Structure 1
Amino acid sequence: MDDLIERALSQVEESFIASSGPGGQNVNKVATAVQLRLNVFALRLSPPVFNRLKTLAGNRMTSKGEIILTARNYRTQEANREDARTRLTQLLEEARKEPKKRAKSRVNRVGKEKRIKAKKNRGEVKANRGKVSRRDW
């Protein structure tokens, strides 16, 4: 694991809450769902990485800069805890990936002529549309 993810996982606040879903009577007795809270400002991310993380997190990020992840897919606290930590790690790794720059496509002379010819033909089709006069019947 790298430095950013280690720092993030060390600063995570965990709380266990009552869960819905599978578990039968156990759901009513044991708080198996886990909620992770991470203050993103404490990570001191660069502005581009922060913006990508903010976009990826969506409504899971609060206005105070906290990411809140809730995991309740499994019956045990430990499995839900591992699931939430994995999802947080994936989110951070995805935010760190720089998107590839889009290369402009270049059209050669033949391609340009072909495009203009197609536009002319389409214009003709549209120009020939119109109301049909009764005399033409």
Structure 2
Amino acid sequence: MINISNRVELQENEIEWQFIRASGAGGQHVNKVSTAAQLIFDIRSSSLPEYYQQRLLNKADHRITKSGKIIIKCQESRSQDANRQAALAQFIALVASVAQTPKKRIPTRATKGSQTRRLETKKQRGATKAMRQFKL
């Protein structure tokens, strides 16, 4: 059980793991061990609520594919376990950012100064508009 936020929990079997070779510069004697961890999560077939699925699919992020999968590759460390934990932390942060409900803005009253400024700009716009009309 992976706890994303206080409202969202995911089963561990919903995340698919692949261990692949780390990309980058390499030579003859490079270690051929698969150390990079790749996390694959299918948004549409997950147990996430529909609201969170839609918010994830609409989110502009390079880790979310058009087919509705989240793919996170992590190769920060030489250890598979450390890379897996780092990829999982990135995944949790991504889903948690969608799971947060935006705060409602508290409407405020206009101050006397802001009202007078608004009226002044309105008058200035009206004056410039009138000048443009009579310009021939």
Q: TM-score, normalised by structure 2?
A: 0.70
Shift of 1:32: 0.7
Q: Which moved more, 1:114-123 or 1:44-53?
A: 114-123
- Larger of the two Rg values belongs to structure: 1
Aligned to 2:3: 2
User: Structure 2 regions of 5+ residues with no counterpart?
Assistant: 132-136
Mark the CA change 1:123 to 1:26 in structure 2 (over 3 Å): closer, same or farther: farther
Q: Which moved more, 1:50-59 or 1:35-44?
A: 50-59
1:45 aligns with 2:65: no
1:99 aligns with 2:102: yes
Matches within 5 A, 1:36-115: 36-56=39-59, 58-115=61-118
Question: Given that residues 69 and 84 in structure 1 are in contact (C-alpha distance below 8 angstroms), is that contact kept between their aligned partners in structure 2?
Answer: yes
Moved over 6 A (4+): 22-26, 122-125
Instruction: Indicate the RMSD between aligned Cα atoms, in angstroms.
Output: 3.2
Higher helix proportion = 1
Alignment partner of 1:15 out of 6, 11, 18: 18
- Over the matched positions of the two proteins, sequence identity in percent amounts to 34
Q: TM-score, normalised by structure 1?
A: 0.69
Mark the CA change 1:57 to 1:115 in structure 2 (over 3 Å): closer, same or farther: closer
* Alignment size in residue pairs: 128
